[in-house]
Amino acid sequence: AALAASFRVAAEKLPKGNRRRRFWSDFFAGAPAKAIEAGDHAQAHGAALELLSADAPAEGHIALVGAGPGAEDLLTLRAHRLLMEADAIVYDALVPEAIVAMGRRDAERLPVGKRKGCHSKSQEEINALLIELGQAGKRVVRLKSGDPLVFGRAGEEMAALREAGIAYEVVPGVTAAFAAAADFELPLTLRGVSSSMVFTTGHDLKGNSLPDWAKLAISGATVAVYMGRSVAAEVAGRLIEAGLSPDTAVAVVENASLGSRRRFHGTLADLPSLEERADLTGPVMTIIGDAVAGANFERSEPLAAHRHEGAASAVAEGVQS
Protein backbone atom coordinates (compact mmCIF):
# COMPACT_ATOMS: atom_id res chain seq x y z
CA ALA A 1 0.00 0.00 0.00
CA ALA A 2 2.83 2.40 0.85
CA LEU A 3 4.60 1.72 -2.46
CA ALA A 4 1.39 2.28 -4.41
CA ALA A 5 0.80 5.57 -2.60
CA SER A 6 4.33 6.74 -3.42
CA PHE A 7 3.68 6.22 -7.14
CA ARG A 8 0.20 7.74 -7.26
CA VAL A 9 1.37 11.24 -8.20
CA ALA A 10 3.70 9.93 -10.91
CA ALA A 11 0.96 7.69 -12.30
CA GLU A 12 -1.41 10.67 -12.56
CA LYS A 13 1.01 12.19 -15.09
CA LEU A 14 0.54 9.25 -17.45
CA PRO A 15 -1.96 9.68 -20.31
CA LYS A 16 -5.50 8.94 -19.19
CA GLY A 17 -7.15 5.77 -20.36
CA ASN A 18 -5.38 2.60 -21.41
CA ARG A 19 -1.83 3.71 -20.51
CA ARG A 20 -2.69 4.64 -16.93
CA ARG A 21 -4.98 1.68 -16.48
CA ARG A 22 -2.28 -0.69 -17.70
CA PHE A 23 0.23 0.78 -15.26
CA TRP A 24 -1.96 0.05 -12.25
CA SER A 25 -2.96 -3.35 -13.56
CA ASP A 26 0.68 -4.33 -14.05
CA PHE A 27 1.60 -2.76 -10.72
CA PHE A 28 -0.82 -4.90 -8.72
CA ALA A 29 -0.58 -8.09 -10.79
CA GLY A 30 2.89 -7.93 -12.30
CA ALA A 31 6.53 -7.65 -11.27
CA PRO A 32 6.11 -5.04 -8.48
CA ALA A 33 3.46 -7.13 -6.71
CA LYS A 34 5.53 -10.30 -7.01
CA ALA A 35 8.60 -8.55 -5.60
CA ILE A 36 6.61 -7.25 -2.64
CA GLU A 37 5.29 -10.74 -1.96
CA ALA A 38 8.90 -11.95 -1.94
CA GLY A 39 9.82 -9.21 0.54
CA ASP A 40 12.14 -7.38 -1.89
CA HIS A 41 10.93 -3.77 -1.71
CA ALA A 42 13.92 -2.41 -3.61
CA GLN A 43 13.18 -4.67 -6.57
CA ALA A 44 9.50 -3.75 -6.36
CA HIS A 45 10.39 -0.05 -6.51
CA GLY A 46 12.63 -0.64 -9.52
CA ALA A 47 9.97 -2.66 -11.31
CA ALA A 48 7.43 0.11 -10.72
CA LEU A 49 9.83 2.68 -12.17
CA GLU A 50 10.18 0.54 -15.29
CA LEU A 51 6.41 0.47 -15.68
CA LEU A 52 6.35 4.27 -15.63
CA SER A 53 8.65 4.47 -18.64
CA ALA A 54 6.58 5.65 -21.58
CA ASP A 55 8.95 3.87 -23.92
CA ALA A 56 8.47 0.49 -22.29
CA PRO A 57 6.74 -1.78 -24.84
CA ALA A 58 3.47 -3.25 -23.66
CA GLU A 59 3.55 -7.01 -23.29
CA GLY A 60 0.59 -8.81 -24.78
CA HIS A 61 -1.26 -11.34 -22.68
CA ILE A 62 -4.00 -13.80 -23.59
CA ALA A 63 -6.42 -15.22 -21.02
CA LEU A 64 -8.29 -18.34 -22.13
CA VAL A 65 -11.42 -17.88 -20.05
CA GLY A 66 -14.33 -20.20 -19.39
CA ALA A 67 -17.60 -18.28 -19.63
CA GLY A 68 -19.54 -21.06 -17.94
CA PRO A 69 -22.63 -22.86 -19.25
CA GLY A 70 -24.71 -19.74 -19.92
CA ALA A 71 -26.04 -18.22 -16.70
CA GLU A 72 -24.30 -14.90 -16.07
CA ASP A 73 -23.96 -15.45 -12.33
CA LEU A 74 -21.96 -18.64 -12.88
CA LEU A 75 -19.07 -16.60 -14.31
CA THR A 76 -16.10 -16.68 -11.94
CA LEU A 77 -14.81 -13.57 -10.19
CA ARG A 78 -11.44 -13.93 -11.91
CA ALA A 79 -13.10 -14.14 -15.31
CA HIS A 80 -15.07 -10.98 -14.55
CA ARG A 81 -11.95 -9.11 -13.46
CA LEU A 82 -10.11 -10.05 -16.64
CA LEU A 83 -13.06 -8.95 -18.77
CA MET A 84 -12.97 -5.57 -17.04
CA GLU A 85 -9.25 -5.23 -17.84
CA ALA A 86 -9.35 -6.50 -21.42
CA ASP A 87 -8.35 -4.48 -24.47
CA ALA A 88 -9.99 -7.09 -26.71
CA ILE A 89 -12.54 -9.87 -26.18
CA VAL A 90 -12.52 -12.77 -28.65
CA TYR A 91 -15.64 -14.84 -28.07
CA ASP A 92 -17.49 -17.89 -29.37
CA ALA A 93 -21.09 -17.97 -30.58
CA LEU A 94 -22.37 -19.90 -27.55
CA VAL A 95 -21.20 -17.22 -25.11
CA PRO A 96 -24.25 -15.09 -24.15
CA GLU A 97 -24.13 -11.43 -25.14
CA ALA A 98 -24.83 -10.50 -21.53
CA ILE A 99 -21.48 -12.00 -20.50
CA VAL A 100 -19.62 -10.35 -23.38
CA ALA A 101 -21.18 -7.06 -22.28
CA MET A 102 -19.52 -7.43 -18.86
CA GLY A 103 -16.21 -6.52 -20.48
CA ARG A 104 -14.65 -3.09 -20.39
CA ARG A 105 -16.84 -0.62 -22.23
CA ASP A 106 -14.18 0.40 -24.75
CA ALA A 107 -12.77 -3.10 -25.30
CA GLU A 108 -12.72 -4.37 -28.86
CA ARG A 109 -15.22 -7.21 -29.28
CA LEU A 110 -14.41 -9.85 -31.87
CA PRO A 111 -16.92 -12.68 -32.49
CA VAL A 112 -15.38 -15.80 -34.02
CA GLY A 113 -18.38 -18.14 -34.23
CA LYS A 114 -17.32 -21.66 -33.18
CA ARG A 115 -20.48 -23.65 -32.58
CA LYS A 116 -21.39 -27.10 -33.86
CA GLY A 117 -21.84 -26.98 -37.64
CA CYS A 118 -21.21 -23.23 -37.93
CA HIS A 119 -17.70 -21.78 -37.75
CA SER A 120 -17.33 -18.16 -38.91
CA LYS A 121 -13.55 -18.48 -38.49
CA SER A 122 -11.36 -21.56 -38.75
CA GLN A 123 -9.26 -22.59 -35.76
CA GLU A 124 -6.14 -21.54 -37.66
CA GLU A 125 -7.62 -18.06 -38.21
CA ILE A 126 -8.47 -17.76 -34.52
CA ASN A 127 -4.94 -18.79 -33.55
CA ALA A 128 -3.52 -16.17 -35.91
CA LEU A 129 -5.85 -13.49 -34.50
CA LEU A 130 -4.79 -14.21 -30.91
CA ILE A 131 -1.12 -14.05 -31.88
CA GLU A 132 -1.66 -10.78 -33.76
CA LEU A 133 -3.40 -9.19 -30.79
CA GLY A 134 -0.76 -10.47 -28.38
CA GLN A 135 2.09 -9.16 -30.51
CA ALA A 136 0.35 -5.78 -30.58
CA GLY A 137 0.63 -5.66 -26.78
CA LYS A 138 -3.08 -6.19 -26.14
CA ARG A 139 -4.62 -7.77 -23.07
CA VAL A 140 -6.99 -10.29 -24.59
CA VAL A 141 -9.76 -12.42 -23.13
CA ARG A 142 -10.45 -15.46 -25.29
CA LEU A 143 -13.95 -16.24 -24.04
CA LYS A 144 -15.17 -19.82 -24.45
CA SER A 145 -18.43 -21.45 -23.44
CA GLY A 146 -18.20 -23.72 -20.41
CA ASP A 147 -14.62 -24.58 -19.48
CA PRO A 148 -11.89 -23.82 -22.06
CA LEU A 149 -10.18 -27.17 -21.46
CA VAL A 150 -13.29 -29.29 -22.06
CA PHE A 151 -14.01 -29.62 -25.80
CA GLY A 152 -12.95 -26.00 -26.23
CA ARG A 153 -9.90 -26.59 -28.47
CA ALA A 154 -7.82 -24.65 -25.97
CA GLY A 155 -4.94 -27.07 -26.52
CA GLU A 156 -4.45 -25.85 -30.08
CA GLU A 157 -4.59 -22.21 -29.03
CA MET A 158 -2.12 -22.71 -26.17
CA ALA A 159 0.29 -24.51 -28.51
CA ALA A 160 0.10 -21.65 -31.03
CA LEU A 161 0.66 -19.03 -28.32
CA ARG A 162 3.61 -20.94 -26.86
CA GLU A 163 5.21 -21.22 -30.28
CA ALA A 164 4.74 -17.49 -30.86
CA GLY A 165 6.14 -16.60 -27.43
CA ILE A 166 2.91 -14.94 -26.26
CA ALA A 167 2.15 -15.03 -22.52
CA TYR A 168 -1.15 -16.63 -21.58
CA GLU A 169 -3.13 -18.07 -18.70
CA VAL A 170 -6.15 -20.34 -18.36
CA VAL A 171 -9.18 -19.45 -16.24
CA PRO A 172 -11.51 -22.39 -15.63
CA GLY A 173 -15.26 -22.16 -16.00
CA VAL A 174 -18.28 -24.25 -15.01
CA THR A 175 -18.61 -26.93 -17.68
CA ALA A 176 -22.04 -27.85 -19.08
CA ALA A 177 -22.06 -31.33 -17.51
CA PHE A 178 -21.91 -29.83 -14.01
CA ALA A 179 -24.65 -27.30 -14.81
CA ALA A 180 -26.89 -30.01 -16.27
CA ALA A 181 -26.35 -32.19 -13.21
CA ALA A 182 -27.24 -29.27 -10.94
CA ASP A 183 -30.42 -28.61 -12.96
CA PHE A 184 -31.46 -32.19 -12.23
CA GLU A 185 -30.05 -32.32 -8.66
CA LEU A 186 -28.21 -35.30 -10.07
CA PRO A 187 -25.22 -36.86 -8.26
CA LEU A 188 -22.59 -37.54 -10.92
CA THR A 189 -20.83 -39.84 -8.48
CA LEU A 190 -22.78 -41.86 -5.96
CA ARG A 191 -21.32 -44.05 -3.26
CA GLY A 192 -21.81 -47.71 -4.04
CA VAL A 193 -23.19 -46.90 -7.51
CA SER A 194 -20.70 -44.83 -9.53
CA SER A 195 -17.20 -43.73 -8.55
CA SER A 196 -16.06 -42.38 -11.93
CA MET A 197 -17.32 -40.22 -14.76
CA VAL A 198 -16.60 -39.65 -18.43
CA PHE A 199 -16.89 -36.59 -20.69
CA THR A 200 -17.38 -37.45 -24.38
CA THR A 201 -18.97 -36.13 -27.57
CA GLY A 202 -20.02 -39.60 -28.69
CA HIS A 203 -18.70 -38.89 -32.17
CA ASP A 204 -16.04 -41.62 -32.02
CA LEU A 205 -18.33 -44.65 -32.28
CA LYS A 206 -17.53 -45.51 -35.88
CA GLY A 207 -15.89 -48.85 -36.62
CA ASN A 208 -16.02 -52.17 -34.86
CA SER A 209 -13.95 -51.37 -31.78
CA LEU A 210 -15.63 -49.76 -28.78
CA PRO A 211 -13.98 -46.54 -27.48
CA ASP A 212 -12.61 -46.52 -23.94
CA TRP A 213 -15.37 -44.28 -22.61
CA ALA A 214 -18.04 -46.77 -23.70
CA LYS A 215 -16.20 -49.55 -21.87
CA LEU A 216 -16.15 -47.37 -18.75
CA ALA A 217 -19.90 -46.79 -19.08
CA ILE A 218 -20.48 -50.52 -19.02
CA SER A 219 -18.36 -50.78 -15.86
CA GLY A 220 -20.56 -48.26 -14.03
CA ALA A 221 -19.16 -44.81 -14.86
CA THR A 222 -21.51 -41.86 -15.29
CA VAL A 223 -21.23 -40.61 -18.88
CA ALA A 224 -21.81 -36.98 -19.92
CA VAL A 225 -22.30 -36.64 -23.68
CA TYR A 226 -21.62 -33.16 -25.08
CA MET A 227 -23.14 -32.06 -28.41
CA GLY A 228 -24.72 -35.49 -28.64
CA ARG A 229 -28.23 -34.89 -30.00
CA SER A 230 -27.29 -35.81 -33.57
CA VAL A 231 -25.66 -39.09 -32.46
CA ALA A 232 -28.16 -40.07 -29.76
CA ALA A 233 -29.36 -43.18 -31.59
CA GLU A 234 -25.83 -44.34 -32.30
CA VAL A 235 -24.72 -43.79 -28.70
CA ALA A 236 -27.71 -45.73 -27.36
CA GLY A 237 -27.39 -48.52 -29.92
CA ARG A 238 -23.68 -49.11 -29.39
CA LEU A 239 -23.93 -49.03 -25.60
CA ILE A 240 -26.85 -51.48 -25.55
CA GLU A 241 -25.06 -53.69 -28.08
CA ALA A 242 -21.99 -53.68 -25.81
CA GLY A 243 -24.00 -54.83 -22.81
CA LEU A 244 -25.37 -51.73 -21.05
CA SER A 245 -28.98 -52.28 -20.02
CA PRO A 246 -31.63 -50.53 -22.16
CA ASP A 247 -33.22 -49.54 -18.83
CA THR A 248 -30.17 -47.50 -17.77
CA ALA A 249 -31.32 -44.06 -16.59
CA VAL A 250 -30.80 -41.04 -18.86
CA ALA A 251 -31.15 -37.30 -18.17
CA VAL A 252 -31.13 -34.67 -20.92
CA VAL A 253 -30.91 -30.88 -20.55
CA GLU A 254 -31.23 -28.24 -23.24
CA ASN A 255 -29.71 -24.83 -22.34
CA ALA A 256 -28.32 -26.00 -19.00
CA SER A 257 -28.31 -23.36 -16.23
CA LEU A 258 -30.50 -20.89 -18.16
CA GLY A 259 -34.06 -19.90 -17.37
CA SER A 260 -35.04 -21.32 -20.78
CA ARG A 261 -33.67 -24.77 -19.94
CA ARG A 262 -35.71 -27.88 -20.68
CA ARG A 263 -35.24 -31.17 -18.86
CA PHE A 264 -36.06 -34.66 -20.07
CA HIS A 265 -35.67 -38.06 -18.46
CA GLY A 266 -35.96 -41.63 -19.60
CA THR A 267 -33.88 -44.69 -20.35
CA LEU A 268 -31.17 -45.59 -22.82
CA ALA A 269 -33.87 -47.18 -24.99
CA ASP A 270 -35.64 -43.79 -25.18
CA LEU A 271 -32.53 -41.83 -26.14
CA PRO A 272 -32.84 -42.17 -29.97
CA SER A 273 -35.99 -40.01 -29.85
CA LEU A 274 -33.71 -37.01 -29.23
CA GLU A 275 -32.73 -36.99 -32.90
CA GLU A 276 -36.38 -36.46 -33.86
CA ARG A 277 -36.75 -33.36 -31.67
CA ALA A 278 -36.76 -30.42 -34.07
CA ASP A 279 -37.87 -28.22 -31.16
CA LEU A 280 -34.50 -28.58 -29.42
CA THR A 281 -32.36 -25.79 -30.86
CA GLY A 282 -30.05 -25.02 -27.93
CA PRO A 283 -27.00 -26.94 -26.69
CA VAL A 284 -28.02 -30.38 -25.40
CA MET A 285 -26.26 -32.30 -22.62
CA THR A 286 -27.00 -35.98 -22.07
CA ILE A 287 -26.06 -37.83 -18.87
CA ILE A 288 -26.19 -41.64 -18.79
CA GLY A 289 -25.66 -44.05 -15.90
CA ASP A 290 -27.09 -45.72 -12.84
CA ALA A 291 -26.34 -42.62 -10.73
CA VAL A 292 -28.87 -40.70 -12.85
CA ALA A 293 -31.65 -42.61 -11.11
CA GLY A 294 -30.91 -40.48 -8.04
CA ALA A 295 -31.92 -37.26 -9.84
CA ASN A 296 -35.03 -35.15 -9.21
CA PHE A 297 -37.37 -35.67 -12.18
CA GLU A 298 -40.30 -33.59 -10.88
CA ARG A 299 -39.73 -30.73 -13.34
CA SER A 300 -38.67 -32.80 -16.35
CA GLU A 301 -40.53 -34.27 -19.30
CA PRO A 302 -40.37 -37.97 -20.22
CA LEU A 303 -38.37 -38.71 -23.35
CA ALA A 304 -40.62 -41.69 -24.00
CA ALA A 305 -43.68 -39.44 -24.40
CA HIS A 306 -42.29 -38.07 -27.65
CA ARG A 307 -41.39 -41.54 -28.90
CA HIS A 308 -44.83 -42.98 -28.11
CA GLU A 309 -46.56 -39.88 -29.46
CA GLY A 310 -45.09 -40.55 -32.89
CA ALA A 311 -46.17 -44.19 -32.76
CA ALA A 312 -49.70 -43.25 -31.66
CA SER A 313 -50.07 -40.84 -34.57
CA ALA A 314 -49.08 -43.55 -36.99
CA VAL A 315 -51.66 -45.96 -35.49
CA ALA A 316 -54.40 -43.31 -35.63
CA GLU A 317 -53.70 -42.62 -39.28
CA GLY A 318 -53.94 -46.34 -40.00
CA VAL A 319 -57.33 -46.62 -38.25
CA GLN A 320 -58.75 -43.64 -40.13
CA SER A 321 -57.69 -45.08 -43.45
DSSP string, 127-162: HHHHHHHHHTT-EEEEEESB-TTSSS-HHHHHHHHH
Question: Is 55 within a domain?
Answer: no
Question: Is 320 within a domain?
Answer: no
Strand arrangement, sheet containing 61-66: 108-111, 88-91, 139-144, 61-66, 167-171
What are the Cα distances from residue 176, in Å, to 36, 141, 170, 248, 257?
Answer: 39, 20, 18, 21, 8
Residues identified as active-site: 92, 114
**Are 22 and 76 in a shared domain?**
no
Residuewise pLDDT in 10s, the chain (321 residues): 688 788 787 777 776 666 677 777 777 777 888 888 888 888 888 888 887 775 556 779 999 999 999 999 999 999 999 999 999 999 999 999 999 999 999 999 999 986 665 557 999 999 999 999 999 999 999 999 999 999 999 999 999 999 999 999 999 999 999 999 999 999 999 999 999 999 998 777 666 656 777 878 888 999 999 998 999 999 999 899 889 999 999 999 999 999 999 999 999 999 999 998 999 999 999 999 999 999 999 999 999 875 544 433 332 343 344
Residue 303: give the domain boundaries: 177-310
Q: What pLDDT is stored for residue 98 in this prediction?
A: 96
What are the Cα distances from residue 94, in Å, to 26, 33, 289?
Answer: 31, 36, 27
Question: Is 315 within a domain?
Answer: no
136 phi/psi in degrees, rounded to 5: -85, 0
Q: What pLDDT is stored for residue 38 in this prediction?
A: 86
Q: What is the dihedral of CA 68, 224, 186, 265, to 10 degrees?
A: 110
Least Cα distance to 288 among 226, 211, 209, 205 occurs for 226
Question: How many domains does the chain contain in total?
Answer: 3
CA-to-CA distance for 51 and 32, rounded, in angstroms? 9
253 phi/psi in degrees, rounded to 5: -130, 130
Could you please report the per-residue DSSP string of 177-209?
HHHHHHHHT--SSBTTTB--EEEE-S----SSS
**Are 194 and 295 in a shared domain?**
yes
Least Cα distance to 293 among 225, 194, 176 occurs for 194
Q: What pLDDT is stored for residue 26 in this prediction?
A: 75
Domain final residue, candidates 174, 201, 228: 174
**Are 200 and 305 in a shared domain?**
yes
**Are 169 and 220 in a shared domain?**
no
Domain final residue, candidates 121, 145, 174: 174
**Are 293 and 212 in a shared domain?**
yes
